[in-house]
Amino acid sequence: MNLRLHQLRALVAVVDHGSIRRAARALHLSQAALTKSLRSLEEDTGVALLVRKSSGVLLTAAGQALLPRAKLIARQLDLAGDELRQSQDIGQGSVCVGLTPFLTLTVLGDAFKAFRKRYPLVQINILEGLVNRVAPALRNGSMDFAIVASSGDVPAAEFASEPWLSYPQTVVVRANHPVLNQLTVTGLAALEWVLPGSPPAYSAHTTPALSPLADMFGKAGHLPPAMVARGDAMAAMALVRHSDVASIFPLPLLAQTESRGIVAVEVSGLSPEDVQLELLSVADVPLTPAGAYFARCLHDASAWQSKSAP
């Protein structure tokens, strides 16, 4: 079987753009040339990969199996070209990263400004870095690296993992919350809580090792809250600000404009664990010079924030 890069790029483009016409335009090819590449790919593999319908193009089961590999191969070749150009001080190419929302709200701006001084022309793409979102993008090669909160959700051997900085966390509620009138562990346990992340990682009914709430309340000798909502970071912040739910935030987040109207809560015996961040990347695949430098800018901005925190 002799697969060619232009065939794989054609398959990826058709899926990404939803039709042969739009894919051909994106690749600067004629529809006839793109159709020929797809047909030759099916002939070389010996299986049907696409189903052409009036509404667009669909993948067969074989096409769905090939697509992740095709994306990974195409992206790695793009990265190889980026690395060669960047090694010759030709600052072009792209970097795609996944960032935990905490870093997006606190240090991304400073890191971005530092990065732009060296790489003014490199395209930057940033996605919210919850583990369940970044893992598929890392697998198919569309994301260079991700910085996420360590949660145990990713198999240890699947990605290269580099421990990053850790940050203290605090219990938070909205300003003027009724619970502030008489703060107790029991009163906080009676509230509904909201935490960012996927349900398996943050279920109040899982074992303490898997649930920050069960762990925190268990150490305080109390059962965890019965009701736990889950959502994206901005959704969690909105719920805390505009309702009577409680949550756990990294402490530096409270200094940000987005946390206005949200206050820290201190109750004896109730202390969340620090959040440990880790950098995930594709195993045995080095970052491009631009990717490695952006990771360094993020680390330097984070370290500076930690030192300057009161």
Written as one string, the DSSP assignment of 201-255 is: GS-TTS-GGG-HHHHHHHHTTSPPPS-EEEE-HHHHHHHHHHSS-BEEEEGGGGG
What's the distance, CA 169 to chain centroid?
20
| Residue 79, pLDDT score | 64
Say whether pTM exceeds 0.85.
no
Buried b (16+ CB within 10 A) or exposed e, 290-309: bbbbbbebbbebbeebeeee
Identify which of 171, 149, 141, 152 has the alpha carbon closest to the alpha carbon of residue 74. 141
DSSP run (H or E) holding 195:
strand 193-196
Residue with tokens 């195409």: 74
| Residue 201, pLDDT score | 43
Q: What is the pLDDT along the chain (310 residues), one digit of tens a residue?
A: 677 888 888 888 888 888 888 888 888 888 888 888 888 888 888 888 888 777 678 888 888 888 888 887 777 777 666 666 656 555 578 899 999 988 999 999 999 999 999 899 889 999 887 777 788 888 877 889 999 888 666 655 678 888 888 899 999 999 999 999 999 999 999 999 998 765 544 434 333 334 788 889 999 999 999 999 988 888 899 999 999 999 999 999 998 888 999 999 999 889 999 989 999 988 877 888 888 999 999 999 988 776 655 5
| Residue 205, pLDDT score | 39
| Residue 8, pLDDT score | 84
Using DSSP bridges, classify how beta strands 228-231 and 193-196 pair: parallel, antiparallel or unpaired. parallel
What are the structural domains of the chain? Answer: 5-76 (1.10.10.10), 91-165+276-308 (3.40.190.10), 169-273 (3.40.190.10)
| Residue 154, pLDDT score | 61
| Residue 85, pLDDT score | 63
